Amino acid sequence: MDRLPTLGRAIPVVVGPTYDIYAALLSKKAVDIKKTTVETHKYGLHPRQQLDLYKSTSNKGLRKPAPILVFLYGGGFVNGDRILNRIPGELAFANLGHFFCENFGFETIVMDYRLVGHGATFPSGGSDLEAVMQWIRKRYAGSGRKVFVLGNSAGGIHTCTWMFENDFRSSRRALIAGSDGIKLAGVITLGAAFTFRYSSRGLIDSVAQYLGSEVENASPLGSIERCRDSGELLKGGWPRMLVVDSEFDPEDILRSSQDALLKLRAVEGLQIEYQNLTGHNHISPPLALGTGITEEKSWGFAIGKWCMA
């Protein structure tokens, strides 16, 4: 982590060196990471609609029934896989599944979703998360499980799409209410851009491949505003929410989070919290889990404790 500040904030600049740093750290813990049981399941018909389900190797002293954590990685809508080729040994994002399983007893889902190269356009990311939620409801019906969602970067945008767009209202409200014995208990965004009003023209043009020409309309703030205008946001009963950024995230992401917090905190009864991860950049947090280094994994313990509160 001590090398990250020297890399700067720009995602295209930090991504390669950050992968190199954590590939070396994770390789030292490969045996431990691989001990965690993993199953691969289809949650839809498209080849990209698959998920890896990680289960703890020991439930001793851990909460039962096991909470479920769904992780959506980032990649700018054009890249990303539940197992990253850029980290040798198939260790990422197995490291994240391992971390939350072994430290908190969560059954952890790392889901693939459709990318621009597969024809994905807004709101398909929300649709893919919706399909995973339906898979969870069918598999765990009546089990009394709590579900948490952790969306990173583009995955955080997909999370907000599902959370606030009317297309998913029926399923969302059923999960919030705890129907079928499955309850949506918390939603976390990590390094997600809530608006692109502070972003460069190059980034706006890039994300428009997925979000469409009206980028702001499809942004998380656009989804939140539609949810507010429909009256649903004001009705209450929402799960707890946590917005997380990193110290060395790009400035446009940090500013967008403050805009979102201002808007969400204005809603009476909505439980919204914020954390900033000291020393991390946009790429590092998910890769830091499972390294066995206290300062690297501390954010994961903070997230786990937030979920268990």
What lies within 8 Å, CB to CB, of 295 at 6+ separation is 1, 279
pLDDT score recorded for residue 28: 98
Full strand arrangement of the beta sheet holding 37-42: 37-42, 50-55, 107-111, 68-72, 145-152, 182-190, 240-248, 272-281
pLDDT score recorded for residue 76: 98
212 half-sphere exposure, CB direction, 13 A CA radius: 10
Tokens of 145: 């499980």
Tokens of 90: 């198939």
Confidence (pTM): 0.97
pLDDT score recorded for residue 1: 85
What span, in angstroms and rounded, lies between the C-alpha atoms of 112 and 108? 13
Tokens of 26: 């994770």
CB atoms under 10 Å from CB of 205, counted, come to 11
pLDDT score recorded for residue 79: 98
Instruction: Look at phi and psi of residue 226 and say left if phi exceeds 0, alpha if psi is from -120 to 50, else beta.
Output: alpha
Low-confidence ranges of the chain (pLDDT < 70): 58-63
271-285 pLDDT per residue, tens: 999 999 999 999 999
**Tokens 């054009």 appear where?**
78
63-114 pLDDT per residue, tens: 679 999 999 999 999 999 999 999 999 999 999 999 999 999 999 999 999 9
Tokens of 304: 């786990």
The chain-wide mean pLDDT, for the chain, equals: 96
Domain boundaries, the chain: 4-308
pLDDT score recorded for residue 307: 98
pLDDT score recorded for residue 101: 96
Tokens of 250: 């790009």
In the CATH hierarchy, which top-level class contains the domain 4-308?
alpha beta
pLDDT score recorded for residue 219: 99
Smallest CA-to-CA distance from 9 within 202, 250, 247, 283 is with 250
The answer to whether 157 and 193 are in contact (CB under 8 A) is yes
pLDDT score recorded for residue 173: 96
Helix (H) or strand (E) holding 30: helix 30-34
Tokens of 258: 């403050």
pLDDT score recorded for residue 142: 93
pLDDT score recorded for residue 18: 98
